[in-house]
Amino acid sequence: MLRIETVQAHCDIPCKIYDPSLPQVAALSVARLLDLIQEIDLAGGSDVAQAAQLSRLVSQKEEQATIVKDEIRIIWGDYFKDPQIEAFPDIHSLVHSIMMTASKCKQNVDPANGVELVSMVNRFAEIFWETKGIKTKMVTAPYPPALPVAQPILEDA
């Protein structure tokens, strides 16, 4: 009979390889997709091309909101340990708010929810980088919806 005396677990991705840029891009995508959904004119009658475009935009919005939730959950669950949580005790409520706002983005098409999601994910990114002793700056994304994005200030190699 096989006996296992000690079991060890490993994180989802290689140790110390965490970066909030993926959920930031996904949040920006959600905001952009919500804008594009608002631009579709269904009042003039529904043609197949518009219906197909709306379906595609909604599907992508759902997928990108799920990416936000998954990536934030992984960083929060695998990276944030007692020292980071002690330094930022509000991280749990921030993560919960991100999850709830991403769900709002999936449930409806209010562009304000997308902007709020980007803002919250930016705050998460700022906290993440601060736990590593790296300062951030806000820059405007060079593509629609041209919202502010928190970026690390990295030193030259």
145 cis-preceded (ω within 30 degrees of 0): yes
Residue 16, domain member (yes or no): no
* Phi–psi pair at 140, nearest 5 degrees: -90, 130
Give the tens place of pLDDT for each residue, 8-64: 544 555 667 899 999 999 999 999 999 999 999 777 666 888 889 999 999 999 999
pLDDT of 7 higher than 70: no
Residue 110, domain member (yes or no): yes
Instruction: Determine if the pTM surpasses 0.85.
Output: yes
Residue 73, domain member (yes or no): yes
pLDDT of residue 5: 72
Residue 79, domain member (yes or no): yes
* 26/117 Cα distance (integer angstroms): 10
Range of the domain at 69: 21-38+49-152
How many domains does the chain contain in total?
Answer: 1
* 19/71 Cα distance (integer angstroms): 9
Residue 113, domain member (yes or no): yes
Q: What's the CATH number where 105 sits? A: 1.20.120.400
Give the tens place of pLDDT for each residue, 72-102: 999 999 999 999 999 999 999 999 999 999 9
